[in-house]
Each structure stands twice: as C-alpha cells, then as structure tokens.
Amino acid sequence: MELLKKWLGHPEEIYNLVKFKMGGYKTVMPKMDQDSLSDSLRICYKYLNQTSRSFAAVIQALDGDLRHAVCIFYLVLRALDTVEDDMTISLEAKIPMLHNFHSYLYQPDWKFMDSKEKDRQVLEDFPTISLEFRNLAKVYQDVIADICHKMGLGMAEFLEKKVNSNEQWDKYCHYVAGLVGIGLSRLFSASELEDPVIGQDVELANSMGLFLQKTNIIRDYLEDQFEGREFWPKEVWSKYVKKLSDLAKPENIDKAVQCMNELITNALHHVPDVLTYLSRLKNQSVFNFCAIPQVMAIATLAACYNNQQIFKGVVKIRKGQAVTLMMDATNIEAVKTIMYQYMEEIYQKVPSTDPSSAKTQQIVNTVQSMSLPSGTLVSQTHYSPLYFSCIMILAALSWQYLNTVSKTAEEYVHTGEN
C-alpha cells in the first residue's frame, strides 16, 4: 500500500506510466529492427541488453550507423570495466591488461576466460565484439580505440591510488566517465548527425560525464562502503570525520549530511556545461540519448540533497517520476524547465546552518538564470478535481498491475553506469 500512497501523491505520474506502457515509449525509445543484422552484430546487441541497466534502449534508438558504433563502444568499455572490477585478477596481471586492452581490438582471437564478474560474457566472447569493431568505419574505430587506450591507462593509475583531493576526484571521474562523454561526442560528430563542434569541445563533453559519475558516487556511498570501495574525496570528508566509513555511524549523521551536501554542490557546478552542450545538439535521437540521463541525474541529486537516507539505505527516484522525465526531456526548453524545477527543490531544502549553503544557493541561482528567460515563472501542472478523481480510481484499481510495468524506467532510476 505504500506504493499506492506514493502514486496518489503524484497522479500525473500514474497517467504517464500508463501512457508509457501503452506506446508512449516509442517516442523516445523506438524498437530497432534486428532482422537485417548479421549474426555477430545481433549477438552484440544481445550482450548490450544483458549488461546495460539503462543505456540499451536509447542506444538502439540512435539513428543510422551511429547506433552500431555506440553499441560497440559501450561493449568495449564494459569489457574494460569488467577487467578493472574483477578483484580475482592480480595487479600483476591486471595492469598490463588495462594498458594494452585497446590493442586487443585488433587481435581477432583475443579473449579472457578467467573472469568471475557477472558481465564476463563480454570478455569470453570478445572476438565477436572485436569483429564488429573492425567492421565499423575507420573514423569510428579510431575514436573507440583512442578512448579505450586512455581509459585503460587511467583505470590502472587509480588501482592503487585513493581519491584524496577534489582535483583527483575530477581526474578519476574523467577517466571513467568524462572520457565516455568525449568519445560519444566525437562519434556524434563523426556520424555527421551533429556539428564538428560537439566532438571538438572537450570541456563540455567531459562535464556531461562528470555530472553523471559524481551523481553515481554520491548516491552509492553505502553500497560502495559494503564493497570496500571509496570514491568520495578525502579533501571533503576529512573536514567532517576521521574515516570515510565514520559517516555511516548514527552519531555522525548531521556531519554526514553536510559532507554529502558539499559534494552535491560540487556536482551541480557541471550543470551549466550540461545545458550548453544539450543546446547545441540538432539530431533528435542524439538529444534524447544525452538528455535523459542528465535529467535523471538532477532528479537523483534533488532526492539525495540533505537526505539522511543515503547513509541508511537506498535513495532512488520513483518509476513514475523516471517515466515522466523520459517523456518530457525531448527538447532543450523542456530540459531547462526540468533543471529549474529540481534546482528549486534543492534550494528549498538548503539548511541555513549548512557550511556549503551559500555556495549551494549561488550555483542554484546560476543554473536557474540559464534555464529560463528573466521574469518567467515555472509552476507545476494543475489538475482539475475530476482529473484527480479519475486518477485515484485508476490507481485504486490498477496499482498492483502498474507495479510490474515499465522495467526500462525502473532501470533508468540507476542513473548512468560506471
């Protein structure tokens, strides 16, 4: 019944869930016809769907040969990431693998059969992936191999190095996510669906990745602690506790929230770059691909801000909320409105006693000034009593059914991927 209560508080989300299930998803995620694919490419898309929690559907909605290039790009980086994550591989073996991984793209028989990770199929059947890589246009191959090389070097660098300073946090996020944004941008331009400036403006593309990665790191504090991983920068958390794990102690909850608020404020400084980047995109499928994860990220940060639950359990946005964002974020003006509204939600939660309150309010004001023309007011949609009555009846009759729909939207709540 808790789920029903949540839905009754957000009737527009019930409507959007039903609309999404009944065909609204086709607007942002049209299904791809796989009949014309080669057997090896069809296998690659199978691996894409098996390993991607959030990107598979929007990758398959991309136009033209860009779709295949991004699919292979994703699988190559997923294979690289699987090597990095596998704690059963010794450092003596892992570091050379990360350094040389880009060269395996040109070795038809290379594969790795000793991984214990859940996504090990992309390593065990790497010959299929590398075959389709070599079938891509050279302009795509060059981008993918270059990013794979740089990311492998960066991953190896941080295997035995902790994230101490904010500068190192940015550097780590650059290696694991910023490079993805840069690579994707270069692919967009190479496809000629987007202007050359998209691939040339490295700073904006990097910010696109950093915003998503920092959101993941902030949200996943507790999960990373359980797994023995530490990605919060020491420069920040050491101002509040002696050890990063101390933030999870009940007696430190106030300091923990202040620490998190400072990191969220840091992440929000990438939003102006995000808006500038999105405003330059011309192709609808590319815009959807880029915009959806970004609006999911801002919604996630708004849910996390000043929220003690980050240190006690899981914080995620509602499925109906995710579906609404996916269906709305199809043009730059809609994205600006979404950013404005979630920035306002954060602004309303800023405690006057929070050490970062002034900086948080300043970046909120900056983003809001970019989001709407001066003097424009944003208000939530208002619904008539009849509409509310109909929605409540619908919710009462179908809440159990709706709990099972829209798997894609639920997966998108987990913004981005490592």
- Say which of 106, 226, 229, 401 is annotated catalytic: 229
**CA separation for the pair 304, 260 (Å, rounded):** 8
**CA separation for the pair 73, 415 (Å, rounded):** 19
Among candidates 210, 97, 242, 103, which has minimal Cα distance to 159? 97
Contact (Cβ atoms closer than 8 angstroms) between residue 69 and residue 136:
yes
Q: Which DSSP letter does residue 247 get?
A: G
- Say which of 55, 172, 240, 342 is annotated catalytic: 172
Contact (Cβ atoms closer than 8 angstroms) between residue 304 and residue 218:
yes
- Rg (the chain; Cα; Å): 22
Q: Where are the alpha helices (H) located in 29-65, listed in sequence order? A: 39-51, 56-60
Q: Which DSSP letter does residue 217 get?
A: H
Q: Which DSSP letter does residue 30 get?
A: P
Active site residue 134: no
Active site residue 229: yes
- Say which of 221, 277, 289, 412 is annotated catalytic: 289
Contact (Cβ atoms closer than 8 angstroms) between residue 322 and residue 410:
yes
Contact (Cβ atoms closer than 8 angstroms) between residue 351 and residue 306:
yes
**CA separation for the pair 397, 391 (Å, rounded):** 10
Two structure tokens written together for 395: 């919710």
Two structure tokens written together for 4: 């029903």
Active site residue 55: no
Residue whose token pair is 């607007």 = 27
Exposure of 302 in the CB half-sphere (CA atoms within 13 A) = 21
**CA separation for the pair 418, 416 (Å, rounded):** 7
**What values do phi and psi take at 277, rounded to 5?**
-60, -50
- Say which of 67, 78, 186, 219 is annotated catalytic: 219
CB count in 10 Å sphere of residue 363 = 22
Burial per residue of 408-417, b for 16 or more beta-carbon CB atoms within 10 angstroms, e otherwise = bbbbbbbbbb
**CA separation for the pair 20, 178 (Å, rounded):** 31
Among candidates 309, 381, 369, which has minimal Cα distance to 343? 369
Contact (Cβ atoms closer than 8 angstroms) between residue 148 and residue 80:
yes
Residues involved in catalysis: 172, 219, 229, 289
